[in-house]
Amino acid sequence: MVTTRVRHKWGMVVDLDRCTGCQACVVACQAENNIPINLEQHFLQRRAIEWIRIERYWEGLEEAEKTGDLSKVKARFIPILCQHCENAPCEPVCPVYATYHNNEGLNVQIYNRCIGTRYCVNNCPYQVRFFNFWQPTWPESLHNQLNPHVTVRTRGIMEKCTFCVQRLRKGGRKEVQEGKRLDDKEFDAQSGMFAPACARACPTDTLVFGDMNDPNSRVSTMAKDNRNYKLLASIGTEPNVIYLKKVDLDASDAATH
């Protein structure tokens, strides 16, 4: 072999006990990936694009209403991004093979293949695929900020989280040059230059990214934590994004355990 190519399986661990819902990941993703500006009308039409989003769930509303004790109300935050499912429901429905699972564990979307049938978004249980209903436009001066390493998607095309593949590719080239697997730190959220923008931004280290094939990486150790669970596991999508349960002093029954 002239070049040794390292086999990666990218994955992410989301520790819900750390997430504060601060939106740093959301804005970082938009800056990195040339996501069109979500104007007010886009929200009103429910067509805003956020590759990673923070969902907020209320808990204890009934109890608070019954007792009148507001402190029973809890708001929980969960960052949801493409789960990069091993068994992705979006893939088999694409008539043009614009979306498929690659050998690095990424669920990919090939823009130049996509013809915009929107079958995939309807079949995705996590609702992380976004359709470009409009030609994305920026004021001329803001073009200076666009990332040249990411394609600007045109109207009629599906888009979704790529785990910032442009950064992974850069890391991959470094690996080829050095002929060895890069240290986990290079992909790590703390200071790694090849970590996805969201993980790199997250102030509480909620998002941890890394190579699941590397048994010593932070992400594979954390994925084994006994708080781990997969989102909508009953559907059997086998996501590569692992969530760690929120710790709650009042967590009660085994059903939510």
CA–CA separation, 147 and 151 (whole Å):
8
CA–CA separation, 67 and 255 (whole Å):
23
User: Is 117 or 230 the residue whose CB approaches another protein more closely?
Assistant: 230
Both structure tokens of 118: 């929107």
Per-position x/- string for 41-80, each x denoting binding to another protein as judged by CB under 8 A, each - no binding: --xx-xxx-x--xxxxxxx-x--xx----xx-xxxxxx-x
Q: At CB < 8 A and 24+ separation, what contacts does 182-186 make?
A: 182/6, 184/210, 184/211, 184/214, 184/216, 184/217, 184/218, 184/219
Say which residue the tokens 């109300």 belong to: 73
The stretch near another protein (CB under 8 A) out of 85-93, 209-217, 239-247 is 239-247
Pick out residues in 168-187 that bind another protein (CB under 8 A). 169, 173, 176-177
Chain mean position to CA 257: 24
Of 83, 162, 217, 240, which lies in the binding site for another protein, with binding defined by CB under 8 A? Answer: 162
- Number of residues that make up the chain: 257
Instruction: Tell the smallest beta-carbon distance from residue 205 to another protein (Å).
Output: 5
Instruction: Tell the smallest beta-carbon distance from residue 55 to another protein (Å).
Output: 7
DSSP letter assigned to residue 193: T
CA–CA separation, 222 and 17 (whole Å):
13
Pick out residues in 198-227 that bind another protein (CB under 8 A). 200-206, 227
Q: Report if residue 127 touches another protein, rule: CB under 8 A.
A: yes
Q: Report if residue 113 touches another protein, rule: CB under 8 A.
A: yes
Q: Report if residue 243 touches another protein, rule: CB under 8 A.
A: yes
Q: Report if residue 247 touches another protein, rule: CB under 8 A.
A: yes
